[in-house]
């Protein structure tokens, strides 16, 4: 059965390039999009957590989406982050994203106020009923403080055709098995953690919404392709080669390490907005050593 929506196997959760004044560098954003398209990304997620969404203004988000869409030139799908812990705000954000003509939205489980499963159903139902866009649910208990259960996801996926996928950022692989058991056959599961991509593929995930794909998109793509086309040994070897880098890219709060790594490759500057701070020189030595020793 074909998937109800396919954003590809490698979706890059793109950083938001900034200059020394902590202003968005739209020129660097445009060049980064083109780089990602040429290096394994099937879709690009704009203004997510990796894009420092908590510190972006609405006006900046709109300009960033416009910049990324222009740079992508319809070569990849553009997904906009539009989640909130306020249902009313999340609905408005989804409606605004639809006006910007993005290809899909990502919407996170409400954070901090820790809703019940019933509350999550009402929250995502309101979003699904407000827009026609494909919606990717985002389950990340480490940031939200609460877990969306597989049966909750399955209920939403069964009721709404435009709830098409889930980004599962949770190390509990049993939940992925349960998602495959309970959800419609055409519902898509994405790993939300680079290091869990291969394990999740083995029990039914389709791909990854990735941070490491900024640097190793083609390698991650080959890992997924090898697994799906009957060469699990090659997939395992690539996973093991990348595993240390996957972990080092989260040695500090995301996106601090990946921005430092991209600056190391002269693709952007390393600057992040407060309350995030840049890596120390000692941390950079550890990170860059892992990246430079990849080959």
**Which whole number is the average pLDDT over 287-294?**
95
Q: Which residue carries 């866009």 as its tokens?
A: 133
* Catalytic residue list contains 155: no
Share of the chain above pLDDT 90, in %: 98
Catalytic annotation, pick one of 5, 26, 138, 155 = 138
114-147 pLDDT tens trace: 999 999 999 999 999 999 999 999 999 999 999 9
All structural domains of the chain: 10-231 (3.20.20.70)
- 1 pLDDT exceeds 70? no
* DSSP H/E element including 67: helix 58-72
- 26 pLDDT exceeds 80? yes
What local confidence, expressed as pLDDT, does residue 4 receive? 80
Question: Contact at 8 Å (CB) between 62 and 98?
Answer: no
- 2 pLDDT exceeds 80? no
60-104 pLDDT tens trace: 999 999 999 999 999 999 999 999 999 999 999 999 999 999 999
Question: Contact at 8 Å (CB) between 2 and 186?
Answer: yes
Identify the bridge partners of residue 24 per DSSP, sorted by sequence position.
18
Question: Contact at 8 Å (CB) between 212 and 248?
Answer: no
Identify the bridge partners of residue 10 per DSSP, sorted by sequence position.
208
Nearby residues of 71 by Cβ (< 8 Å), 6 or more positions away: 29, 30, 31, 33, 34
Q: For residue 5, count CB atoms less than 10 angstroms from its CB and return exposed for 0-12, middle for 13-18, buried for 19 or more.
A: buried
What is the token pair recorded at 130? Answer: 């407000």
In order, the DSSP letters of 189-250 are EEESSGGGHHHHHTTT--EEEESTHHHHHHHHHHHHHHHHTT-HHHHHHHHHHHHHHHHHTT
**Which whole number is the average pLDDT over 36-47?**
98
Confidence tier at 3 by pLDDT (50, 70, 90): confident
Q: What is the mean pLDDT of the chain?
A: 97
**Which whole number is the average pLDDT over 245-271?**
98
- Measuring CA to CA, which residue among 131, 129, 95, 89 is closest to residue 108? 89
Q: For residue 244, count CB atoms less than 10 angstroms from its CB and return exposed for 0-12, middle for 13-18, buried for 19 or more.
A: middle
Confidence tier at 108 by pLDDT (50, 70, 90): very high
C-alpha distances in angstroms, 40 versus 69, 154, 224, 241?
Answer: 17, 30, 11, 17
164-202 pLDDT tens trace: 999 999 999 999 999 999 999 999 999 999 999 999 999
- Measuring CA to CA, which residue among 87, 37, 81, 88 is closest to residue 62? 81
What local confidence, expressed as pLDDT, does residue 21 receive? 97
Share of the chain above pLDDT 70, in %: 99
Catalytic annotation, pick one of 28, 69, 167, 259 = 167
Number of H helices, E strands in the chain: 12, 8
171-180 pLDDT tens trace: 999 999 999 9
Identify the bridge partners of residue 18 per DSSP, sorted by sequence position.
24
* Catalytic residue list contains 190: no
Rounded Cα gap, residues 201 and 204, in angstroms: 5
For the chain, the first-to-last Cα distance in angstroms comes to 39
- Measuring CA to CA, which residue among 265, 266, 214, 208 is closest to residue 235? 208
């Amino acid at each position: 059965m074909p998937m109800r929506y396919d954003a590809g196997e490698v979706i890059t959760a793109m950083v938001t390039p900034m200059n020394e004044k902590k202003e968005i560098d739209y020129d660097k954003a445009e060049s980064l999009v083109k780089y990602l398209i040429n290096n394994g990304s099937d879709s690009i997620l704009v203004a997510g957590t990796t894009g420092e969404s908590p510190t972006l203004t609405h006006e900046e988000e709109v300009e960033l989406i416009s910049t990324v869409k222009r740079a992508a030139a319809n070569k990849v799908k553009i997904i906009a982050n539009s989640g909130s812990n306020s249902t009313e705000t999340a609905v408005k954000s989804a409606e605004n994203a639809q006006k910007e003509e993005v290809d899909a939205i990502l919407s996170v489980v409400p954070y901090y106020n820790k809703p019940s499963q019933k509350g999550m159903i009402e929250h995502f139902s309101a979003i699904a009923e407000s827009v026609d866009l494909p919606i990717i649910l985002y389950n990340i208990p480490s940031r939200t403080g609460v877990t969306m259960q597989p049966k909750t996801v399955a209920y939403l996926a069964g009721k709404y055709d435009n709830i098409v996928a889930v980004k599962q950022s949770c190390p509990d692989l049993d939940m992925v098995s349960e998602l495959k058991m309970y959800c419609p056959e055409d519902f898509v599961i994405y790993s939300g953690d680079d290091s869990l991509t291969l394990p999740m593929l083995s029990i039914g995930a389709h791909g990854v919404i990735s941070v490491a794909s900024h640097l190793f998109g083609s390698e991650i793509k080959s890992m997924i392709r090898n697994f799906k086309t009957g060469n699990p040994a090659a997939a395992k070897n690539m996973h093991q080669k990348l595993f240390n880098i996957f972990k080092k890219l989260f040695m500090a709060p995301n996106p601090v390490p990946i921005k430092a790594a991209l600056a190391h490759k002269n693709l952007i500057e390393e600057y992040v907005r407060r309350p995030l701070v840049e890596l120390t020189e000692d941390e950079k030595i550890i990170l860059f050593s892992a990246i430079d020793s990849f080959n």
